[in-house]
Amino acid sequence: AVRQLASEGITKNVFWVGDVMLDANLANRPLARKKSTVLSDLGLAPASYSLVTVHRAANTDDPARLTNIVRALSRVGETVVFPVHPRTRGALAKLDEQFGDNVRLIEPVGYYDMMVLEENARLVATDSGGVQREAYFMRKPCLTLRDETEWVELVENGFNLVAGADTKKIYQCYREAVEKKMDFSLPFYGAGSAGNRIASQEQFKKTEDAVSREGFLRHARGNSLFKNLGNGKFEDVSDSA
């Protein structure tokens, strides 16, 4: 977002603070682990399944797209856990295609259960914008079951594969994602202190150099300073700053 604003000539009073959604995720993760029993309820071991959500009208209201998704998920040969949105359940009931035995359709889950399912999945496949970011927070590869995504930084750096609703492409992206080693340490969304940074105008003034035309990012944890080298590469220049 900062880069896009800079390309439009807007650099004054622009502050990179991170993502408040990550703040909420980190704050609630210990509670989710404590309160949720979803893994034991479903008899799931960590890293033994993939998690899928589909709810957008572009997929649920298009029988061809939904059929392709069903076929792709049935081919992956691994357990797929699919909390089914009510609209999606209605659309699935109208299809001639049936899921394979590897796909477990479950009722929609609450926030804590969803967090635990995301944290313990091998991979997340979704058409949800929020779940795409949550997958990165949880350090999981993500397949986007749409033809585009808002989170271009995740696509550009290989954490999110845009698979659309093509059966062959979904399957290929799935295999690529589970086999690929990914470094989830890049500070795209800060480190869970975005709310405090937004609230502290004084801190904004002190860290005004954090986001500039030169492409610097100041990590929200401590005072590490990263220079954006392009192509998803960052250089730690803390000692020279």
Return the active site residues.
55
Taking every pair of Cα atoms in the chain, the longest distance, rounded to a whole number of angstroms, is 63
Question: 91-96 — which CB contacts under 8 Å span 24+ positions?
Answer: 91/60, 91/61, 91/63, 91/66, 92/66, 94/63, 95/63, 95/66, 95/67, 95/70, 96/67
Per-position DSSP letters for 11-42, written without gaps between them: -TT------HHHHHHHHHHHHHHHH--HHHHH
CA–CA distance, 68 with 96 (Å, rounded to integer)? 12
